[in-house]
Structure formats: structure tokens, C-alpha cells
Structure 1
Amino acid sequence: MPNLNNRPHLLALVLLLIAMISMQSSGALAKILIDQFPIMTISALRLLLGSLILAVIFKIWQIHFKDVRWKAIISYGMALAGMNALFYLSIDRIPLGIAVAFEFIGPLSVALFHARQKYDFIWVGLAILGLALLFPFAQADQSLDPLGIAFALGAGACWALYIMAGQRPSGVSGNHTVCLGMFVGMLCLMPIALFLGMPAHVFEPSNLIYFIALAVLASALPFTLEMIALRNLSALSFGTLMSLEPAIAALSGFVFLHEQLLWTQWLALAVIISASMGCTFTAQQAKNTINKN
């Protein structure tokens, strides 16, 4: 059995895989909670508890708040709030794996927008083919909720904004940016959750433990593991592995929620993953070429 401590690259791959499984398992947990609590309540509490946990992990008190560029933090937090709420609204209507696949179009679009390689048209074509295969045209009883699709695409758009906002200088470290951004996102969603009605029993210990678990699975654990993994992974390896998220989400939906996908939809996930991996590879190659010149 290999000693992972002596193989930092392999250890990083394992940690990143655990992070992705944790993130997509949190989607399955959120879908279970949606049957019992309002979606906005789940979204707001996840960001609140997640920001508090990350504040402790990343020692938020060490921030020099005078250096914080709040414009960047606020835009980042608003994108995070939209991505979080719209994704939970989507999985209430369509299977988890399909929701993640539609949402993944957001970061894929950002990557394709910045790529300038001759293979770009192939990745665009694969992404379009994957989207087409997601729709079960021949099986009326398996039709997808159009509003669920719209919510997932909206979450993907917010994910794209989240990526662009996260690249702006915020005056603090990336970890502190995530923590502050989650708190801003919570401030965006909490008034809506309170206005729509937040059940008092969510704060009962028997229920609150599930929201804490959601915050850990969706935020604290994956962000911490990704931070460790990135120390020993190239951007190419990281981006390629993250492309597996739709498949992991589909498996999570199958295992925890007993969601069944058509063979064409499994094929669609494979096509979208291939497009994302290819895009990541060519984008990295282009970056390496520019750096050499």
C-alpha cells in the first residue's frame, strides 16, 4: 500500500477527490432538507454556518479590515448567494447530476471565453452536444422541469460571475475572501428567508445538526481540502479533476436519493466532462506557450 505522505501529488489527488465527494454529497443532503424546510432558509443558514466555521479555520480575526476592498468582496458574495440559492431551487425540480451539469456550463463558458486555441470549437461543440443529450426528448415521462433547468443555468451564470469576482484583488487572502464573501452572501439571503418565513424549529438541536453538517460538507471540508491539495497540484490537474463534478453529483443522487438517469443523460455527463477536460488542457497549454514567449 503506497505511503501518501511520501507522494504529495497522489495525496493531493486523494484530498481533492474527497473534497468533490463532500461537496456533491452536500447537494444530496440539501435536497433531503428541501422536503422539510424552505429553500431560502436552507441557503441562508448554510452560508451563515459555513462562514462562521471558515472564520475559525482561517482565523478571520487576523484580517486587517482597513485593507479589505469591499467592492470586490460584495460582488463576490452576491455571486455566491445567487449561485447557492438558484442551485438549491434547481435540485428541488430536477435530478442532482443534471442540475450540476447545467450549472457547470457557467465555468466552462468562462474557460472557453478566455481560450483561443484551434480546438476550442471542438469543446464548444461537445458542450452543446452534452446539453442536447440531457433532454430526454423521446421519454415524456422523464421530461425535465423547464424552471429547474432555468434555475440551474442561472446558478451557472452566478458561478461564472463568482469566478470573475474571485479574481479581482480583494485586499486579503483567497481564504479570507471566501469567508467574507460567504458572510456577505448570507446577508443577501437572510432577509429574504426571514420575509418568506423561517421556521423556528430549524434552531432545535435535532434539526440544527443537519444544517451544521450541510455547512461542513458544502463549505468547511471541501474548501480546506482544496487549499491543501492546491499546494501540490498544477492548474491543469486541478481543473481536469474538477471536471468530474457532474458525474460525482449524479452518483451521489443515485446512491443517496435513488435518482435514475437515462443512458443518454449519462452519456451527456461524459460529453460535458470531456469538453471541460479538453478546455482545461488547451487553456493550460496556451498559458504555458505565452509564458515561454
Structure 2
Amino acid sequence: MSRQISYSLVLLGAVLWGTTGTAQTFMPQTIHPLAVGASRLAVGGFSLLLLLLIMRKIEFKNWPWKATIYAALSMAIFQYLFFSSVRLTGVAIGTVVTIGSAPIFSGLIEWVILKRRPTSVWLTATALAIVGCALLFLNKDGIVVNPLGIAMSLGAGFLFAVYALVNKDVLEKVDTVPAVAVIFSMSALMLLPFLFLFETEGLLSGKSITVVLYLGIATTSVAYILFSTGLKQIPSSSAVTLSLAEPLTAAVLSVLVVGEQLDGTSWAGIAMLLVGILVLTLGGKKTKRVLE
């Protein structure tokens, strides 16, 4: 598989993630976001795992359990920290700090741990995308700068970067679909207690079940299979930067589907996000990461 196809797969996965917010608008607002997150992971992980077990397409001999547990734990805690930060700071700040910090953490982790120095292409693309993300969200109403919320957002960004890195280790030893099935089934088990701690009124209605199925299958199973397949061939830092296509998609859908209005600053942010993604996808094939 060429690197360009790998970039495209990661990008498609991020686009599917970007439909999550719009899909949730069709659910009752009484349902706590973390309950939605737990349900989403449960549907995505358990359905894949059950299918693989029925088809006997999964083999646990020599499975990389250590890296798998780290990936599952990272994703589970990410869900908790992100949704908690949004409650404390609002969607705008929580999203900007989480999504904007993840590529930075990913690049630093690769530099410090793997001794891979960031390339000029990655630095340029990441800077453009982060500034674009900030412009897209920072003009929203109801911004609250809560120190604990900011800390949780940074923690969420760090954990997504960790997930991408350890997931890459898992993918070196097992196929993509089994890896996604096991990681998200484990994450779902870790989050299931939250279904009993937070408000879930309306979760079992027909409309909510339909949305949860979409979130579990499309934005979790399919999206992370695409992300993980592409991740096999490209650096985790590049994959995390491409994940910034998620807020880009969410913003476009908010206009086309939800009917929201974006001002000039937001459109400028969208443009910078697009340029950053194009710089990485088109320039990545010409640049090799160099060992320090």
C-alpha cells in the first residue's frame, strides 16, 4: 500500500469521526455524552469481536496484550477526560485544546521516545491545522477558561497521541480488524460502569438506538479500521495531525445539516485546516523522517 493511500485512509477515518457531533443532535439531550461514548465503543467493539469469533477469524495466540491494554486504557480514559473537559470549559475550548494538542504531543513522543525528528512538512502542516482549528472554534459563544478543564483537555490530547503510538505496536503483530475489535471491546468494558452513573433517559428509544448503531459501526468500527490501516504505513504523528479533519468535517456538517452559520473567522479556520491537511498529504511522500 502506498503512503498516499495510507494518508487517504486516515483522512477518511477522521471525516467519519467528524459526523459524530451531527449524529448526536438527533438524540435526546437528556443523555449524558459519556454514556453515548460508552455505548458507541460497546457497539463498535463488541459487534466486531462477535463477528470475528463466529467466523473464527481471530487468533489470540501470541497476541500483544501489553500494547493492547495500553491502547484500550488510553482510549477509555481519553473518553472520560474529553467529555469531562467539555462539561467544564464548553465545547469550543475543550475541542480546541484536545484536538490541537494531540499532534504536538504525538510529535514530541516520537521525537523523545523513538528518536524521530519532526520534518519541516509535518511542522508546517501541524502549525497550519492547529491555528485553523483555533480560528474555527474560538469565536464560539460560552467560552469558559477553567484550569481543571484545560488540564483534562491536555490529558485527553496526550492520551490520543499515546493511543496512536501504542496502537501502531499492536498493528505490527496482528491484523487491523481484530486489533480494533479487541481494543475497543476492552475500552467499552472499562466505560460500561458510566452507563449506571450518568443520565441515560431516552437512550433506548428507537431514534437513539439508530444513532448509537451508526456511531458504533460507522464512526467507531469503520473509522478506526480506516485509521489503523493507514497508521501501519505512516508515522503516528502524521496520522494524528490528519485527525484534525474531524473538526473540519464537523464544521461543514453544522452548516449543511444543522443549519448553523459560520462567520469569516471560522471560514478562515476551515481554509487553514484544509491547507494544513493538503501540505501533509501531498508533501509527505516527498519527505522522509530522519533518525536523530
Query: TM-score scaled to structure 1, two decimals?
Result: 0.70
Indicate the residue corresponding to 1:265 in structure 2.
Answer: 266
Shift of 1:181: 1.0
1:145 counterpart = 2:144: yes
Q: How does 1:282-293 map to 2 (within 5 A)?
A: 285-287=286-288
2:45 to 27, 33, 51: 51
SS at match of 1:142: coil
Indicate the residue corresponding to 2:91 in structure 1.
Answer: 94
Indicate the residue corresponding to 1:33 in structure 2.
Answer: 27
Equivalent-residue separation in structure 1 for 2:21 and 2:283 (angstroms):
30
SS at match of 1:144: coil
Question: Does the 8 A contact of 1:15 with 1:226 survive in 2?
Answer: yes
- Structure of greater Rg: 1
Equivalent-residue separation in structure 1 for 2:59 and 2:50 (angstroms):
16
With over 3 angstroms needed to count, the CA separation of the structure-2 counterparts of 1:150 and 1:80, relative to structure 1, is: same
Indicate the residue corresponding to 1:24 in structure 2.
Answer: 18
Deviates more, 1:119-128 or 1:186-195: 119-128
Q: What are the ranges of 5 or more consecutive residues in structure 1 without an aligned counterpart?
A: 1-7
Equivalent-residue separation in structure 2 for 1:165 and 1:33 (angstroms):
33
Equivalent-residue separation in structure 2 for 1:14 and 1:284 (angstroms):
12
With over 3 angstroms needed to count, the CA separation of the structure-2 counterparts of 1:150 and 1:34, relative to structure 1, is: farther
SS at match of 2:262: coil
Question: Does the 8 A contact of 1:130 with 1:272 survive in 2?
Answer: yes
1:184 to 175, 178, 186: 186
1:68 counterpart = 2:63: yes
Equivalent-residue separation in structure 1 for 2:77 and 2:160 (angstroms):
8
1:202 counterpart = 2:203: yes
Shift of 1:79: 1.5
Task: Provide Cα deviations, 1:139-197, integer angstroms capped at 9, x if missing partner.
Answer: 7x835233576665443222111111212247532322211111111122111331335
Indicate the residue corresponding to 1:42 in structure 2.
Answer: 36
Task: Provide Cα deviations, 1:256-292, integer angstroms capped at 9, x if missing partner.
Answer: 33333332233234334544554566665442777xx
1:70 maps to a residue whose letter is W
Question: Does the 8 A contact of 1:133 with 1:267 survive in 2?
Answer: yes
Shift of 1:86: 4.2
* Greater per-residue helix proportion: 1
Question: Does the 8 A contact of 1:33 with 1:42 survive in 2?
Answer: no
Q: What are the ranges of 5 or more consecutive residues in structure 2 without an aligned counterpart?
A: none
Equivalent-residue separation in structure 2 for 1:87 and 1:34 (angstroms):
20
Shift of 1:81: 1.8
Aligned residues: CA RMSD: 4.3
With over 3 angstroms needed to count, the CA separation of the structure-2 counterparts of 1:206 and 1:120, relative to structure 1, is: closer
Question: Does the 8 A contact of 1:129 with 1:268 survive in 2?
Answer: yes
Equivalent-residue separation in structure 1 for 2:28 and 2:290 (angstroms):
47
Paired residues, number: 275
SS at match of 1:220: helix
Indicate the residue corresponding to 1:5 in structure 2.
Answer: none
Query: TM-score scaled to structure 2, two decimals?
Result: 0.70
1:287 maps to a residue whose letter is K
Task: Provide Cα deviations, 1:230-250, integer angstroms capped at 9, x if missing partner.
Answer: 59x9749x9586553332121
With over 3 angstroms needed to count, the CA separation of the structure-2 counterparts of 1:242 and 1:192, relative to structure 1, is: closer
Task: Provide Cα deviations, 1:110-165, integer angstroms capped at 9, x if missing partner.
Answer: 246444445666556546644664575xx7x8352335766654432221111112
1:81 to 53, 76, 82: 76
Equivalent-residue separation in structure 2 for 1:58 and 1:271 (angstroms):
41
Equivalent-residue separation in structure 1 for 2:276 and 2:213 (angstroms):
35
Question: Does the 8 A contact of 1:77 with 1:181 survive in 2?
Answer: yes
Equivalent-residue separation in structure 2 for 1:173 and 1:87 (angstroms):
28
Equivalent-residue separation in structure 2 for 1:34 and 1:63 (angstroms):
37
Equivalent-residue separation in structure 2 for 1:11 and 1:116 (angstroms):
21
Equivalent-residue separation in structure 2 for 1:118 and 1:252 (angstroms):
31
